Structure formats: C-alpha cells, structure tokens
C-alpha cells in the first residue's frame, strides 16, 4: 500500500481571498514504512505573503520571488502522488488550496480528491480522542513525537512530524528524521526506526460464575470424548 503524507504552506488562510500555496512537502510510505523518498518545492505565489502567515512559517515574499510557480512543478507533483492515498492533517485546508492551484492550470486538472483518496488525520484524531485538543502539536505531546525542531512551520518538516503521529495513532511503525546524521552520502534522508513504549492492554478476568460454567462445559466435552480433555491435560 502506497501512501503520501502531505502538508502545504500558504500566503494566508483564505483560499477564497486568492491566497496561494508557497510550499508543498510530501513523505512517501509503502506498507506503513517511510521509503526515504520525498517531494518538496517552494513556489512563487505572484502575491505578497500576509504578515500573519509569515509569522507562522517564516517564508518571505523576497525568497519566494525566485522560486518556480506551481504550473512549473505540477506534473512532477502529480506524478509523485499518483495512485497513493494522501494523509493530511485538516485535509480540507490543504485540498482546498491545491484544488485552486489545479484549477489555474490550462487545462484545469480537477480536484485532488478525484485523483487520490484522502485520509484526514484531524478527523481520525477526533474519533480517537473526542473532546480533546487534536492539533498537530497536541498530538505530538500525546504520542511522544519530538517536534522540538518546529520553531517555524514548514511543509516538509510538518509532513515528517505528521508521519510519526499518523503511525503512532494507527499502531506505530518507524519514523522519518531530517537530522543531519540521518543523511546518506548523497544527501538523501534515510529511515530511522523508533521503538514506542509498550501499550498496556487490559486483561479481563473471568468471574466465578463464568469459571463454573466453563468447568461444566469441559465436563460435557470430557464425557463426549471418553474421559479426556486436551485443555485439562495441558493445564494440569
């Protein structure tokens, strides 16, 4: 099973006000294991970054002015996510912005949700933890995922953190790190396995009445089997 953990950064919060995607970050999983492949692009939005957004991600309009536009990387991006399930936190936000970018292409490319199935980890977290805070930061604390490098939001960094959170929420398996010592000689990120603490599983013990009923059942089996019951032989 191929999955892509995806995050975006934008010039502002409202796509309806013409705000644009300025960074896309994707992490590839196969059979719940990070493969080491990722996709990351900064994008020129042809508009200014709102001060509020700049305070969140620290990506300036000056820096973005020299980056490619979405139309320049659209085919590469779509090829990377093709035939994969997208895993996104608060998916409606990112999908809305990506759909707007796809609509600007000539010809328009439809909706991301038409191209790929989408799993929203915010909706999943609300099912698992109703009535609790389920932001990515809150989930990092709940599942002991290290987010100490997250001074600013960044699409690839947030996708990396979300990878760990998603795997923890759904059973846990592996993690992807962007630490320098996790780079190979070519500068590619590598997969680092992270062992999670043992989950306590509740043990439901039989009541006295259930034990009596169990013994009666074994007596009936013993009678039908000519006096021997394998379960009692093994237990005794």
Q: What is the CA radius of gyration of the chain?
A: 25
> Tokens standing for 202?
């509740």
Full DSSP string of 136-183: HHHHHHHTT---TT-SS--HHHHHHHHHHHHHHHTT---EE---GGGB
DSSP code for 191: E
What gap in Å lies between CA 73 and CA 112, rounded to an integer?
Answer: 15
The residue to which tokens 């592996």 are assigned:
174
Active site residue 19: no
Q: How far is C-alpha 60 from the geometric centre of its chain's CA atoms?
A: 27
> Which residues are CB-neighbours of 1 under 8 A, at least 6 positions away?
30, 31, 32, 85
Marked catalytic residue, from 89, 153, 188, 214: 153
The rounded distance, in Å, linking the Cα atoms of 80 and 75 is: 9
At residue 178, what are phi and psi to the nearest 5 degrees?
-105, 15
Pairing of strands 33-42, 21-30: antiparallel
- Which residues are catalytically annotated? 153
């Amino acid at each position: 099973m191929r999955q892509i953990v995806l995050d975006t950064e934008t010039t502002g919060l409202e796509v309806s006000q013409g705000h644009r995607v300025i960074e896309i970050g994707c992490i590839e999983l196969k059979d719940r294991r990070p493969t080491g492949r990722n996709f990351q692009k900064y994008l020129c939005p042809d508009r200014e970054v709102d001060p509020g957004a700049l305070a969140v991600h620290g990506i300036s309009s000056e820096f973005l002015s020299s980056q490619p536009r979405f139309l320049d990387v659209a085919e590469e991006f779509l090829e990377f996510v093709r035939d994969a399930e997208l895993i996104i936190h608060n998916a409606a936000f990112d999908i809305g912005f990506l759909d707007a970018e796809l609509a600007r292409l000539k010809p328009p490319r439809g909706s991301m949700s038409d191209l790929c199935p989408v799993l929203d980890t915010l909706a999943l977290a609300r099912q698992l933890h109703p009535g609790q805070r389920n932001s990515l930061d809150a989930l990092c604390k709940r599942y002991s995922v290290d987010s100490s490098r997250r001074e600013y939001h960044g699409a690839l960094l947030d996708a990396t953190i979300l990878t760990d959170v998603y795997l923890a929420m759904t059973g846990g398996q592996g993690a992807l790190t962007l630490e320098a010592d996790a780079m190979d000689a070519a500068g590619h990120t590598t997969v680092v396995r992270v062992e999670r603490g043992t989950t306590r599983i509740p043990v439901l013990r039989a009541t006295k009445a259930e034990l009596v009923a169990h013994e009666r059942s074994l007596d009936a089996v013993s009678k039908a089997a000519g006096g021997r019951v394998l379960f009692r032989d093994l237990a005794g």
